[in-house]
């Protein structure tokens, strides 16, 4: 591990770690705390007394050993290492009922895995809706000492974006599970590095708003975290979204951004004024601080994709010659119109793989056509994929498949496709769906195409939602996006097989389709799901398994639940 990485770890207050024999060891305690992330005191979930959770920094080739102790007293927990492929360690993926048992109160689970590629990642809770409660942090993997990124920068800044509610995650779960369903509603605020402002605006005097000017008497905990820069330097800004619900737009007043990385993969650089970022996505952008050094500049984060009224989150890019407490005199960037879908699609289509990135295989071995719908299950509003709402079993799939516990889950695979007679522009005529715990099984190294198809919501109004989908254990190539119903013959001819971006997150636009291709080359069992927390909680996901017979060395603590408990 480099001196730079070690130094950055040292400044993480309260973070215990040690380095030995190529491994980096951490002791993490998950617990509830009283905090004021947006100036209103509420219960938040954090690690080692910190919210957001400590930033982990490592180098390519490091083995991370995180001893996670559950100090929540009344509920289980896990951590998912979002974007880390977990080659050889599928049990460390952090998905209860899929890769491991939940960690019970008072228990400790050791996550041991290697980080094998550089990039910007996150980690977060994957049990219940604990991400909405604040259980998330940044995970940054640097190149080994002596190796250089394919772009120059003098220094870097790190931003973790999130949304925040004043209702607890448990209350949100109860709302979503009620009959009739009660939606969680818009977040009360957006947070930048765990800080935001509720019911006030930093730029109240500059914009047309009824909100008062923010004041921070005794409220430094929610005061914006200022980004300090030197003039005429080049900065890499790592931006990650751990939102529970929100699709966000990010902008820096007067500064162009060059997008160079997405989800840990290098992309062909392109210039933007603002950046769309969906839940689970990460980016690196390059900025040059060549504006007037006698001024400070707004950084803004706002809602897109839904007509919700959560105010922008704001902080300041401070040119160090100025006092950091002096607010800019111009209004902050205007967040794009929430329903300007064409602008959002154009941004996503600009993301292309950097030269030298592996190309996808020309042909697929198996194709899944997955219809995303709202549906009813026993009168409760849920989500379904090909008319199946995912219900996870008590025994983790990794264990039950490895040890042939056939009674642990449905042995029948969910449907590979759906009827093309389905009217995606209207609410379903027959809205009831089935529940199931069946999974899709692939042979090792099979090339799999997945086409996600979006539809109208259940209510009899014209609306289709955004769904940012995330695949565990793999990157995939995004072959293309399209409007309307996917047409296998015609639309396949439009697939990009030359330079499609490698990602682990892909957005599904309203009334559209998104086509992905990946290679099933990672033995294990992997979740594939919408990363919007309420959507996942309501069943919007599927499970992929591949070559589980090749998995060796599953730790005992992964096994001891469900049907496996007590088996020797």
pLDDT in tens, 219-258: 678 999 999 999 999 999 999 999 999 999 999 999 999 9
Name the helix (H) or strand (E) containing 488.
helix 488-492
CATH number at residue 242: 2.60.40.420
How do residues 509-539 score in pLDDT, each as one tens digit?
999 999 999 999 999 999 999 999 999 999 9
**CA 352 – CA 480 distance, rounded (Å):** 11
Indicate whether 359 belongs to any domain. Answer: no
Same structural domain for residues 268 and 331?
yes
Indicate whether 4 belongs to any domain. Answer: no
Tell me which DSSP letter residue 220 carries.
Answer: G
In this structure, how many other beta carbons lie within 10 angstroms of the beta carbon of residue 565?
11
Indicate whether 297 belongs to any domain. Answer: yes
Give the pair of three-digit tokens for residue 403: 């040890």
**CA 468 – CA 458 distance, rounded (Å):** 19
The residues, ordered by sequence, that sit 6+ positions from 233 with a Cβ below 8 Å of its Cβ are: 154, 155, 288, 289
SS3 67: strand
Spatial contact of 362 and 277, defined as CB atoms under 8 Å apart: no
> Which residue intervals of 178-224 are DSSP H helices?
none
Q: Which candidate, 177, 333, 305, 332, places its Cα nearest to that of 243? A: 305
Residue 478's φ and ψ, nearest 5 degrees, are -85, 105
Measure CA of the first residue to CA of the last residue in the chain; give whole Å.
Answer: 40
Tell me which DSSP letter residue 128 carries.
Answer: T
Query: Sheet of 447-453: strands edge to edge?
Result: 434-436, 388-390, 380-385, 366-377, 447-453, 512-519, 476-483, 502-503
Spatial contact of 432 and 351, defined as CB atoms under 8 Å apart: no
Spatial contact of 210 and 199, defined as CB atoms under 8 Å apart: no
Whether the pLDDT of residue 7 is over 50: the answer is no
Same structural domain for residues 100 and 232?
no
> β-strands 434-436, 388-390: how paired?
parallel
For the chain, helix (H) and strand (E) counts, in that order, are: 7, 33
Indicate whether 1 belongs to any domain. Answer: no
What sign does the CA torsion over 263, 364, 420, 481 have? positive
The residues, ordered by sequence, that sit 6+ positions from 4 with a Cβ below 8 Å of its Cβ are: 142
Give the residue with greater pLDDT, 274 vs 379: 274
Residue bearing tokens 């299950």: 377
**What torsion do the CA atoms of 36, 40, 42, 44 make, to the nearest 10 degrees?**
-40
Same structural domain for residues 556 and 508?
yes
Write down the pLDDT at residue 325: 86
Same structural domain for residues 421 and 472?
yes
Same structural domain for residues 285 and 312?
yes
Specify the pTM. 0.94
What sign does the CA torsion over 193, 195, 196, 201 have? negative
- Determine the structural domain holding residue 92 and report its residue range: 23-142
Same structural domain for residues 321 and 391?
no
How do residues 258-298 score in pLDDT, each as one tens digit?
999 999 999 999 999 999 999 999 999 999 999 999 999 99
Of the three residues 350, 378, 413, the one that is the final residue of a domain is: 350
**CA 411 – CA 404 distance, rounded (Å):** 11
Distance (Å) of CA 202 to CA 94, 270, 333, 452: 38, 31, 13, 40
Same structural domain for residues 285 and 377?
no
Task: Let me know how long the chain is.
Answer: 568
Whether the pLDDT of residue 557 is over 80: the answer is yes
Indicate whether 390 belongs to any domain. Answer: yes
Indicate whether 39 belongs to any domain. Answer: yes
Whether the pLDDT of residue 213 is over 80: the answer is yes
Give the pair of three-digit tokens for residue 9: 């770890």
How do residues 68-81 score in pLDDT, each as one tens digit?
999 999 999 999 99
Residue 4's φ and ψ, nearest 5 degrees, are -60, -50
Write down the pLDDT at residue 567: 52
Same structural domain for residues 41 and 106?
yes
Q: Which residues of 32-64 are buried (b: 16+ CB within 10 A; e: fewer)?
A: beebbbbbbebebbbbbebbbbbbbbbbeebeb
Same structural domain for residues 196 and 123?
no
Of the three residues 90, 120, 142, the one that is the final residue of a domain is: 142
Same structural domain for residues 129 and 159?
no
State the total domains in the chain: 3
Confidence tier at 5 by pLDDT (50, 70, 90): very low
Write down the pLDDT at residue 4: 43
Spatial contact of 198 and 40, defined as CB atoms under 8 Å apart: yes
What does the pLDDT average to over 321-339? 94
Strand partners for 468: 507
Same structural domain for residues 137 and 175?
no
Of the three residues 116, 142, 168, the one that is the final residue of a domain is: 142
Indicate whether 6 belongs to any domain. Answer: no
Write down the pLDDT at residue 565: 64
Indicate whether 492 belongs to any domain. Answer: yes
Whether the pLDDT of residue 192 is over 80: the answer is yes
How do residues 332-371 score in pLDDT, each as one tens digit?
999 999 999 999 999 999 999 999 999 999 999 999 999 9
Q: Which candidate, 163, 58, 48, places its Cα nearest to that of 121? A: 58
Same structural domain for residues 179 and 314?
yes
């Amino acid at each position: 591990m480099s001196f730079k990485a070690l130094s950055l770890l040292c400044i993480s207050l309260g973070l215990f770690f040690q380095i030995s024999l190529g491994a980096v060891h951490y002791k993490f305690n998950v617990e509830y705390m009283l905090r004021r992330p947006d100036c209103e005191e509420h219960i938040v979930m954090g690690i080692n007394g910190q919210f957001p959770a400590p930033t982990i920094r490592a180098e390519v080739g490091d083995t991370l050993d995180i001893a996670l102790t559950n100090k929540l007293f009344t509920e289980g927990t896990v951590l998912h290492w979002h974007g880390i492929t977990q080659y050889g360690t599928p049990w460390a993926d952090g998905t209860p009922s899929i890769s491991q048992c939940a960690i019970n109160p008072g228990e400790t689970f050791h996550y041991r895995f290697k980080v094998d590629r550089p990039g910007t990642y996150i980690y977060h809770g994957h049990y219940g809706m604990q991400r909405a409660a604040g259980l998330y942090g940044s995970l940054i993997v640097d190149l080994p000492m002596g190796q250089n990124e394919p772009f120059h920068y003098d220094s870097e800044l790190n931003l973790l974006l999130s949304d925040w509610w004043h209702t607890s995650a448990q209350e949100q779960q109860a709302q979503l599970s009620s009959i009739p369903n009660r939606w969680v509603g818009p977040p009360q605020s957006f947070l930048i590095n765990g800080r935001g402002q509720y019911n006030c605006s930093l730029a109240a005097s500059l914009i047309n708003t009824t909100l008062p000017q923010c004041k921070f008497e005794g409220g430094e905990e929610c005061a914006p975290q200022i980004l300090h820069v030197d003039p005429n330097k080049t900065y890499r800004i790592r931006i990650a979204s751990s939102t529970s619900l929100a699709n966000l737009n990010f902008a820096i007043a007067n500064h162009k951004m060059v997008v160079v990385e997405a989800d840990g993969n290098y992309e062909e650089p392109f210039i933007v004024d603002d950046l769309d970022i969906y839940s689970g996505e990460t980016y690196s952008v390059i900025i040059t601080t060549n504006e007037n050094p006698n001024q400070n500049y707004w950084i803004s984060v706002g809602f897109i994709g839904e007509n919700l009224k959560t105010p922008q989150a704001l902080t300041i890019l401070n040119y160090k010659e100025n006092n950091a407490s002096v607010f800019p005199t111009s209004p902050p960037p205007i967040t794009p119109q929430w329903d300007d879908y064409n602008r959002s699609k154009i941004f996503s289509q600009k993301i292309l793989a950097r030269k030298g990135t592996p190309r996808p295989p020309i042909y697929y071995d198996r194709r899944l056509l997955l219809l995303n719908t709202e549906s009813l299950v026993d009168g409760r509003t849920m989500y379904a994929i090909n008319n199946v709402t995912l219900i996870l079993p008590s025994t983790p799939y990794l264990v039950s498949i490895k040890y042939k516990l056939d009674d642990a889950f449905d042995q029948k695979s969910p449907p590979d496709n759906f009827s093309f007679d389905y009217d995606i522009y209207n609410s379903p005529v027959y809205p009831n769906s089935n529940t199931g715990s069946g999974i899709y099984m692939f042979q090792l190294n099979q090339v799999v195409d997945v086409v996600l198809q979006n539809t109208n919501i259940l209510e009899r109004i014209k609306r289709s939602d955004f769904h940012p989908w995330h695949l565990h254990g793999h990157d995939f190539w995004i072959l293309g996006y399209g409007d309307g119903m996917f047409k296998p013959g015609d639309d396949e001819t439009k697939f990009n097989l030359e330079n499609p971006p490698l990602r682990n997150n892909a957005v599904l636009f309203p009334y559209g389709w998104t086509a992905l291709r990946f290679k099933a080359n990672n033995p294990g069992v992997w979740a594939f799901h919408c990363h919007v927390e309420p959507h996942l909680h309501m069943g919007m996901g599927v499970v992929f398994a591949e070559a589980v017979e090749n998995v060796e060395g599953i730790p005992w603590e992964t096994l001891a639940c469900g049907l496996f408990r007590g088996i020797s």
